[in-house]
Structure 1
Amino acid sequence: MTVRTPVLDVPNPQRPTTDQPWQRLHPRMIVVSVSWLVGPAVPLLGTILVARDLLNSHGLIVLGSYVVVAGVQAGHEWVRYRTTRFRITDSQVELHSGLFFRTDKSIPRDRVRSADLTANPVHRLFGLEAVKVGTGQHTARSEDEELVLDGISRAQAVQFRALLLSRGEGSDTGGEAPALPVPLARMRWSWARYAPLTVTTFAGVLAVVTGISKLLDTLGLDLTSSGTARGVWDWLSAVPLAVAVAVVTLVLGAIGVAGSLVAFAEAWYGHRLEREPEGSLHISRGLLTSRSVSVAERRICGVELSRPLPLRLLAAGRLNLLATGLGGSSAQFSHPGQLIPAAPLNAAHQITAAVLNEASSPITEAVLHGHPRPALRRRLVRGCLWAPAGAIALAGAGTAAGVLPWWAALVAAPLTAVCGAALARDAYRGLGHALCGDYLVVRQGTFVRRTVALRRDRVVGWTGRQTYTQRRAGIFTLTATTAAGKGAVRIRDIGVAEGLRFAEAALPGLVAPFCGTSADRD
């Protein structure tokens, strides 16, 4: 349940707030709450306007249903507006909401780990912001399990965020001018060249095509009755198959590239990464929808450098922050931990050093240790046996359906085996682990190669897991448990003895008793 909140009179952190009154939602939040209906309305009304001569009773029913849903949603949001209230005291952030099903939420201020600010175009039109309070919990699956204050003005949201992250520990500056944020990174438009080299480019094309198809089907419109569509189909049928495939591929590729550039501009316009005077890391970005995330520096645990295969070919990657309480993506707050978009490696390493407050990036300084040969054999089995078997099955199904020629399976098997062997060797070369100063560095993956630099003092424990084949090969998967990110950093297919030594070196005294027990038994 999304929490709707009023314009907040945020108390000064230097005066008592114990007797703060309950605040109510601002009436403008009713309009903001139903703004999502505008999105479906635009293509719906546009389709009806363009294809009104093809509109039948089915389309009119859809339009009438949409109007009814809009009315019900507006009434629901009015009830939520009337029944939601909250307040902030010295020790708690409290929220009450609901009419028939009452929800009471209370978060101690000393458990607040991050504050995420988001404002979509409607929020910005009315001068409001949505604030999500992060507490370090990994169990939240939806906004019903989060504390979100939706409807605070921009200036009040910034003050509210500073109040939460400082936990009321502000001090008198003695009349001096307040310290300014220290810039760590800013938007570079040259990074836009990496935007099309992501899976989202192709996924976006498929999403657009699928969405248009479903919309036309919902309205009961048949494109075969359109002269333009018939003319395009006739032309594609008349030209050679290779030409038709090339034309369709170029058109879809152009749409994907254009869409990725537009998405890049919208998401990363005005990007700034700063270190704030109150001891927090602040990330702000967004053109239409502004996004702002602040994380207390004492909660930063490390970084993750992610390099999908296309970005690896151009020596680029994405950088994500690992911090307790940062949480994951949600409908309002997408990718809160992403520090920069896809960027050159040298820029990513410089920003890593700046964020971790180190002289250089632990990722570049670490000398990674390789993994034993059984790890290579496991990947070769998957790439040279299981992948060709799947390709043969798919090609056989295509041949039986009459879509593919009879020789497709004969070509698919060796081709898949060669590609699988190359990818398996690349995945093996990508395995590595090391200790570098205060950090443990772990690297793995081939389609998406991820390198994690995690502070050793943020590892709360180790877990070892062995499958039957790993046990026979003398390797296992070692997992470092942490409160940051996804809660675990896995070192796959490491030798048992090497893994235990690595765990003991990272956290001395934690694994030594188990190592001694194993040695005595051997």
Structure 2
Amino acid sequence: MSTRTPLLDAPGGPDMPPSPAEQAWQRLHPRMIVVSVSWLVGPAVPLLGAIFAARDLLNAHGLIVLGSYIVVAGVQAGHEWVRYRTTRFRITDGKVELHSGLFFRTDKSIPRDRVRSADLTANPVHRLFGLAAVKVGTGEHTARSEDDELVLDGISREQALQFRALLLSRSGATNPDGSAASPALPVPLARMRWSWARYAPLTVTTFAGVLAVVTGGSKLLDTLGLDLADSGTARDVWDWLSSVPLALAVAVVTAALLAIGVAGSLVTFAEAWYGYRLEREPEGSLHLVRGLLTSRSVSVAERRICGVELTRPLPLRLLSAARLNLLATGLGGHSARFSNPAQLMPAAPLDSAHRITADVLDETSSPITQAALRGHPRPALRRRLVRGCLLAPAVAAALAGAGAAIGPLPWWTVAAAALLTAACGAPLAWDAYRGLGHALHGDYLVVRQGTFVRRTVVLRRDRIVGWTGRQSYPQRRAGLCTLTATTAAGKGAVRIRDVGIAEGLGLADAALPGLLRPFCDPPSAEDH
């Protein structure tokens, strides 16, 4: 296969990038065919490990699974070879173009002025072969799959860096005499601190990891047609657990599961946040780099930043810690290759989160700490008490009753579930009410809500494009409404739940003066 010219090679030399109009059509790197089957490595490790460990139990069913796995790898490699041969891309003065597909041709074109971000990622196989993937963000909220995005998976890392720089219009600076200026150094905003790892087990990932390990192991053994009852080791463990007191057996199993969860969360933290650094680049963008095995790099132009979201799940609140997400147009959400590009930092002390918030927003202090949040009316508390003390116990009792009717649970669990939920409902309802708050602080709208996961959103007022007010029947009776600030960042909306009608309309009018005036002022005689 012929060697491709670099993305920004020009007749004047490698350091002189040509005009985008001179860019020729480029192809993906041929090494991406090997990279494409890298996802099969993950399932292969437990598959081969299980076959080796239980080779004495292996039967024809297991051999069929192994053969099917090899066939799938071959089909995937052939599919990626076709994608390599049929995919072309280029950048022109006005747009980014991508052509791909053999039987079903796909032509994508994105105007350059619509580009909001360029995310670069490289998994271990990418890095082994010197490749990377780039996702172009446009700020659209309508994309439902990777087919709706412009993603270049399988270009050289040098091409990816130049591609991202060109998309974000980072041209080289010059001195007044026309000579090349010395490149300015980025300003560091945050660096990795391994002491933050102590917060990693206090997330849902810990418990989800335990469930994933148990469920995945069970499905793997079932796929291979293996039964643990036939294993001598499994029988010995079960016999030991059956011989000890029930409390000790439960404690041992619980400790083992917790150890698996904690170890998994620490490994996940190290892989995701190794080498973490957040910088402000001289060209006017935020640049975040992180990842041990899979390297992730996200650049967002500062003019696209709309605010931040401070997230504090209940365990992190107890230890005065939080996570921080960026609200910016074009970042999007989760995808197969780009995991939560909006997350600015891992779970860390609250003071660190406030400091990074101020640095990202280019303020002397965080608006979260400076804003005087206004509480919500008392009817908002009554709504939460009804849900926590009446509806939640009824649902818990119904679920326990269903379990008792089927057989696994005794009937006394119905009353126990209702009483326990009711006892927890009142304090949780009060905490949820105390968590409600909103304020206008300078150029920002600050909104706080939630109890199990308390979220505080700081949104620039000039990034609010409209307001929406909604009332359910209970809200109408209580004189409340849910006010929604529409924006192009994050999920596209910031909701202020159960706010008083008059107070909500006043807040909306103060945030965007004049927008709601025609709806608030009484009609004049001339209007009739």
For the superposition of Structure 1 and Structure 2, which TM-score range results when normalised by the shorter chain? Answer: over 0.9
8 A Cα contact 2:8 2:18, kept in partner: no
Instruction: Indicate conservation of the 8 Å contact 1:8/1:152, yes or no.
Output: no
Match of 2:282 among 268, 277, 280: 277
Q: Secondary structure at the match of 1:101?
A: coil
Per the TM alignment, residue 433 of structure 1 is displaced from its structure 2 partner at its CA by 0.2
CA distance in structure 1 between the partners assigned to 2:4 and 2:197 by the alignment? 38
Distance apart, 1:61 and its partner CA? 1.3
Match of 2:337 in 1: 332
SS of 2:20 mapped into structure 1: coil
Partner of residue 47, structure 1 = 50
Report the counterpart of residue 9 of structure 1 in structure 2: 7
Q: CA deviation at 1:288?
A: 0.3
CA offsets 1:200-249 (integer angstroms, 9 cap, x no match): 10001100110010000001000000111111112222222222211111
Equivalent of 2:409 in 394, 404, 409: 404
Question: How many Å apart are 1:171 and its aligned residue?
Answer: 4.0
Q: State whether residues 7 and 162 of structure 2, in contact with CA within 8 Å, keep that contact through their aligned partners in structure 1.
A: no
Alignment equivalent of 1:227, drawn from 216, 229, 232: 232
The correspondence of residues 60-459 of structure 1 with structure 2, limited to 5 A, is: 60-166=63-169, 170-173=172-175, 174-459=179-464
Aligned AA for 1:117? L
Could you report, residue by residue, the CA deviation over 1:463-503 in whole angstroms, capped at 9, with x for unpaired residues? 00000110111000000000000000000000000000000
- Identify the range of structure 1 (23-32 vs 270-279) with the bigger mean alpha-carbon deviation: 23-32
- Structure 1 519/205 Cα, relative in aligned 2: closer, same or farther at 3 Å? farther
Q: Which of 516, 524, 528 is 1:511 aligned to?
A: 516
In structure 2, the CA distance between the partners of 1:225 and 1:495, relative to structure 1 (3 Å rule), is same
Query: Separation in 2 of the partners of 1:263 and 1:43?
Result: 18
Alpha-carbon contact 2:466-2:486 (below 8 Å) kept: yes
Residue 412 of structure 1 and its aligned partner are, at CA, apart by 2.3
List aligned pairs for 1:426-505, cutoff 5 A.
426-505=431-510
Asked if 1 retains the 8 angstrom alpha-carbon contact of 2:8 and 2:17, the reply is no
In structure 1, the residue matched to 2:37 is 34
Q: Tell me which moved more, 312-321 or 134-143.
A: 134-143
Aligned with 2:465: secondary structure? strand
Letter paired with 1:502: L
What is the rounded CA distance, in whole Å, between the counterparts of 2:28 and 2:161 in structure 1?
Answer: 18
SS at match of 1:260: helix
Q: CA deviation at 1:74?
A: 1.2
Q: Residues of 1 paired with 2:391 and 2:200: CA distance?
A: 33
Runs of 5+ unmatched residues, structure 1? none
Shift of residue 429, structure 1, vs aligned partner: 0.3
CA distance, structure 1, for counterparts of residue 358 and residue 371 of structure 2: 13
Structure 1 window deviating more from structure 2 (317-326 vs 72-81): it is 72-81
* 1:74-115 residue CA offsets vs partner (Å, 9 max, x unmatched): 111111111111111122211110000000111111111001
The Cα shift of 1:46 comes to 1.5
Would you say 1:23 and 2:21 are equivalent positions?
no
**How big is the shift at 1:73?**
1.2
Deviations along 1:307-333, one digit per CA (max 9) or x if unpaired, are 000000000000000000111110100
Aligned partners of 1:208, 1:217: CA distance in 2, in Å? 14
TM-score normalised by L of structure 1: 0.96
Name the SS for the 1:195 alignment partner. Answer: helix
Letter of the 2:174 counterpart: D
> 1:34 Cα deviation (Å)?
1.4
Contact 1:115–1:134 under 8 Å retained in 2: yes
- The whole-number CA distance in structure 1 between the counterparts of 2:522 and 2:306 is 31
- Equivalent residues, number: 516
Q: Which amino acid aligns with 2:126?
A: H
Counterpart contact for 2:173–2:183, Cα < 8 Å: no
Local SS of the residue matching 2:23: coil
Shift of 1:13: 7.9
Change (3 A) 1:475 1:318: same
- SS of 1:52's equivalent in the other structure is coil
2: distance between equivalents of 1:171 and 1:318? 36
Alpha carbons of 1:112 and 1:310: their partners in 2 closer, same or farther (altered >3 Å)?
Answer: same
3-state SS of 2:202 partner:
coil
Judged with a 3 Å threshold, the aligned counterparts in structure 2 of structure 1 residues 137 and 150 are, in CA distance, closer, same or farther, namely same
SS state of the match for residue 330, structure 2?
A: coil
- Partner secondary structure for residue 302 of structure 1: strand
- Report SS of the residue matched to 1:175: coil
Partners in 1 of 2:99 and 2:244 — Cα distance?
65
SS at match of 1:491: strand
Structure 2 vs 1, CA of residues 30 and 358 (structure 1 numbering), >3 Å: closer, same or farther?
same
The AA in structure 1 aligned to 2:114 is R
Counterpart AA for 1:25: L
Question: How far apart, in 2, do the equivalents of 1:517 and 1:486 lie?
Answer: 34
Residues 482 and 369 of structure 1: CA distance in aligned 2, closer, same or farther (over 3 Å)? same
Deviation at 1:398, TM superposition (A): 3.2
Shift of 1:382: 0.5
After TM superposition, the score normalised by the length of structure 2 is 0.95
Structure 2 unaligned blocks of 5 or more = 10-14
Quick check: 72-81 or 198-207, which moved more?
72-81
**Inter-partner Cα distance in structure 1 for 2:343 and 2:351:** 17
- How far residue 16 of structure 1 moved from its aligned partner, in angstroms, is 2.3
Q: Is the 8 A contact 1:376 1:425 kept in 2?
A: yes
Alpha-carbon separation, structure 1, partners of 2:425 and 2:38: 48
| Alpha-carbon distance, 1:410 to partner | 2.5
SS at match of 2:372: coil
Instruction: Measure how far apart 1:49 and its partner are.
Output: 1.4
Q: Which moved more, 1:221-230 or 1:82-91?
A: 82-91
Identity over aligned pairs, percent? 81
